[in-house]
Structure 1
Amino acid sequence: MWELALVGVILAPTDAALGQQAFSNKRVPALVRGGLGVESGLNDGLVLPFFVLALAAAGEGEGHPGVVVTFLRALLLSGAIGLAAGWAGAGVLRWSVARDWSTPAWRQFLTFAVPVITYALCATVEGSGFIGAWVAGLAFGGRLRGASSGRVARAEGPGPTQSATFSERLGLLLASVSFLVFGAVILGPTLQHLTWRMVVYALISLTAVRMLPVALAMADAGLRAASVAYVGWFGPRGLASLVFGLLAFEEHLPGTTLLNGVIAVTVGLSVLLHGATAPFLGNRYGDWFARTLRTEPGLRENALSADNAPGIRGPHSP
């Protein structure tokens, strides 16, 4: 049961890197683009606690820490470390900027250092470095957004946009390299042991398992069926699923081989199907939106103007 839960959790988060064309197409209404971007930026962190607990439960009794110990270390302790590190890092950044002790270029390295330091601290106490780094990012960005105006703002204040440029570009580069390694090292051997069950589940995971919950969650959102279908389809699985899958593989669970095969096939099909359909469906949906907007100016999808759309910068935006 817990291994099946792991499959569901690992294949739940979406990847903005794979859906970049669908998320950034300016013909798509800003409300839809922003929603997809926010989802892909948050859902990998939101599933982390469920992943850690399911992994602990699946390996319990085989020399792995139990669920209670994992909960205390991975969720509570790692979360506290992340909160403290992110809050302190943002404070140091604001303090140095206010005194003109740092330049905009070097401030970006502090932003990159915060999750690295947090991960190392969490690993030292045998906690979850990923949960710690995610919480640190929330605390770091939250404190910077609350920075006061004045000298800090005039000196290109340490807002999330200015301070995270280096981290975002590095994240995009590493994500691209990761997909190259995935295709060469992981997907190739998996295809040699491919079964029809893997393919069937991968297709179901990319369609019904994704689209039905999206439709249910957006039932009262006031969006048209075309918009709900667009959001439901563009839930590409990518780097987050691969990372979680590798972490599960290291635990040597009884069903690890099959589990990782399903993950690899699902991500591989997602790369192919979502990448191939993003330009076409984005333009078709944009045409529908433009036509409908001419006859219905109060369309819910038009609630946000393009100028006010949430920033869609990349898969690792803070």
Structure 2
Amino acid sequence: MTNAQWFLLVGGLLLAMGLTSSTLKRLPVTSAIIYLAVGLLVGPTVLNLFHFNPLKESALLEVLTEAAVLISLYAAGVKMPVPVSIARWRAPILLAFVSMTVTVGMVAAFAYFLLELPLGAAILLGAIVAPTDPVLATDVQIRHPGDRDRLRFTLTCEAGMNDGSAFPFVMLGLGLLGLHEIGDFGLRWAMVDVLWATAAGIALGVACGAALAHLGYRLRNKASGHDLMDDFLGLGLIGVVYGVSVMISAWGFLAVFFAAVALRQTERKLAGAGPDVLDRLQSNGEQADPGALQQAHASAATVSEGSLVFKEHIERLSELVLILLIGGTLFIDSWSWRAIWLALFLFMVARPVSVLIGLVGTRTPWTIRGLTGWFGVRGIGSLYYLMYAIQHGLPEKIALELIHMTLIVVTLSIVFHGTSVKPLMERFWSVR
């Protein structure tokens, strides 16, 4: 496709989505399925107007997916309810670290014993498809900072953390393939890639988010008044935190998520204890008076609130473009039983079992456990890990195999989860 045709396609799709947004909300499917259908239509599966080769364009796709995940992690972080408490965060922490680890192990065993992949490639594949996605899972995530829904919070918080907690296993897989130094008996991997990178990422994110909150609060409360460009501040926080994380070998995804969480939590503490007026109004959804919302926004201006709308718009645009590209990668013969069985094993066995194991001993209701076990959406984060591995020297034969597996897993996740999310969520809310 020429540049003009790309502009026409993306622009026309944006116009169609914008003009029919009310109708689309009533459809039993998500917008991601529409983007995928268009991508399949114009891609090699049907019309063959364009073909996107992820192996040749891995550097470009790595940057695009990296940016999309970072924006999504920031948006998820600033929507976390106030205040943070161990009781509230226990379940998502267990899901993000324990359940994610179990999923990596189960998928790696499946790939090693049944798909006959090398051990390093099997672990790498497990790390690629194990984390849930913060970009494509918007229909099951917190909608706004005042959202108190427990299921939405659990899924959002888990997705915010496990994109970073999966990174050590990516590095372990690369290490076993000879592409990363893991040390004797994996000691360097355990000390640097697991302990240091995780702890440093969380600490850096918390420190930077809290510092920006204090700085913004002081500038806004000057006697003479001081205007801030919240959109720039939000993007700047993402850039600085992620850049420093890479420089000190910390996990940047964890750092950005916790920077956003710390930013919002600190801003709310500085504004006064407990949920503010804006949170209470937003928790009412459409019932909130627009005038009251506007007044609350004006009286409780924060960097996290001011930058959120802009980030969500970028998030939607990146979702559209990247899913179009996914559709443009698939041929009819891309669908192999090896990849389909992997996806079914992940959705039907590995994810539900890992959730049950991770939540053992918690008071999480069984309904929420069941829905959490199903809504493990895979998407842009998995593509980023795959491109990251390719850029770190993954052999072409293994790269092609993992590209094939990952694309089918992501595509089937969009279809399965995209067609079930609205009916299941509506049923969940109606019986509560």
Q: TM-score, normalised by structure 2?
A: 0.55
Check 1:214–1:122 CA distance in 2 against 1; reply closer, same or farther (3 A cut). Answer: closer
User: How far did residue 205 of structure 1 move?
Assistant: 0.6
Q: Verify the 8 A CA contact 1:3 1:54 in the aligned structure 2.
A: no
- Could you list the per-position Cα deviations for residues 75-115 of structure 1 after superposition, in whole angstroms to 9, with x for gaps in the alignment? 56666654554343333322221222114xx2232012111
Counterpart residue number, 1:102? 227
**In structure 2, which of residues 390, 404, 412 is the aligned counterpart of residue 261 of structure 1?**
404
Distance 1:199 1:249 in 2: 22
Q: Are 1:205 and 2:205 matched, yes or no?
A: no
What SS is found at the alignment partner of 1:207?
helix
Counterpart residue number, 1:188? 330
Q: Verify the 8 A CA contact 2:230 2:303 in the aligned structure 1.
A: no
Q: Are 1:130 and 2:249 matched, yes or no?
A: no
Counterpart of 2:260, as a letter, is G
Q: Verify the 8 A CA contact 2:124 2:174 in the aligned structure 1.
A: no
Q: Verify the 8 A CA contact 1:237 1:270 in the aligned structure 2.
A: yes
Structure 1 unmatched ranges of 5 or more: 290-301, 303-318
What SS is found at the alignment partner of 2:378?
coil
**In structure 2, which of residues 298, 309, 316 is the aligned counterpart of residue 165 of structure 1?**
309
Counterpart residue number, 1:214? 355
What SS is found at the alignment partner of 2:270?
coil
Counterpart residue number, 1:298? none
Distance 2:142 2:269 in 1: 27
Counterpart of 1:41, as a letter, is G
Counterpart of 2:385, as a letter, is F
Q: Verify the 8 A CA contact 1:14 1:39 in the aligned structure 2.
A: yes
Check 1:59–1:125 CA distance in 2 against 1; reply closer, same or farther (3 A cut). Answer: farther
Counterpart residue number, 1:38? 157
Counterpart residue number, 1:305? none
User: How far did residue 242 of structure 1 move?
Assistant: 1.5
Counterpart of 2:376, as a letter, is G
Counterpart of 2:409, as a letter, is T
Q: Verify the 8 A CA contact 2:201 2:251 in the aligned structure 1.
A: yes
Distance 1:22 1:281 in 2: 10
Counterpart residue number, 2:125? 7
User: How far did residue 233 of structure 1 move?
Assistant: 1.1
Q: Verify the 8 A CA contact 1:145 1:159 in the aligned structure 2.
A: no
Distance 2:141 2:247 in 1: 38
What SS is found at the alignment partner of 1:188?
coil
Distance 1:15 1:210 in 2: 13
Counterpart of 1:246, as a letter, is M
User: How far did residue 182 of structure 1 move?
Assistant: 2.2
Correspondence 1:161-310 to 2 at 5 A:
161-184=305-328, 187-188=329-330, 192-221=333-362, 225-254=366-395, 255-287=398-430, 289=431
User: How far did residue 273 of structure 1 move?
Assistant: 0.9
What SS is found at the alignment partner of 1:252?
coil
What SS is found at the alignment partner of 2:408?
helix
Counterpart of 1:101, as a letter, is H
Structure 2 unmatched ranges of 5 or more: 1-118, 274-296
Distance 1:285 1:73 in 2: 40
User: How far did residue 122 of structure 1 move?
Assistant: 3.9
Check 1:278–1:84 CA distance in 2 against 1; reply closer, same or farther (3 A cut). Answer: closer
Distance 1:79 1:30 in 2: 25
Check 1:162–1:59 CA distance in 2 against 1; reply closer, same or farther (3 A cut). Answer: same
Q: TM-score, normalised by structure 1?
A: 0.72
Distance 2:410 2:213 in 1: 35
- Could you list the per-position Cα deviations for residues 245-302 of structure 1 after superposition, in whole angstroms to 9, with x for gaps in the alignment? 2111212324222122211110000001111122233334444x2xxxxxxxxxxxx5
**In structure 1, which of residues 75, 80, 93 is the aligned counterpart of residue 216 of structure 2?**
93
Q: Verify the 8 A CA contact 1:45 1:134 in the aligned structure 2.
A: no
Distance 1:129 1:224 in 2: 32
Q: Verify the 8 A CA contact 1:24 1:33 in the aligned structure 2.
A: yes
Distance 1:84 1:18 in 2: 28
Check 1:144–1:211 CA distance in 2 against 1; reply closer, same or farther (3 A cut). Answer: same
Distance 1:47 1:275 in 2: 24
Considering only aligned residues, what root-mean-square deviation do their CA atoms show, in Å?
Answer: 3.4
Counterpart of 2:128, as a letter, is I
The number of equivalent residue pairs is 276
Q: Verify the 8 A CA contact 2:133 2:381 in the aligned structure 1.
A: yes
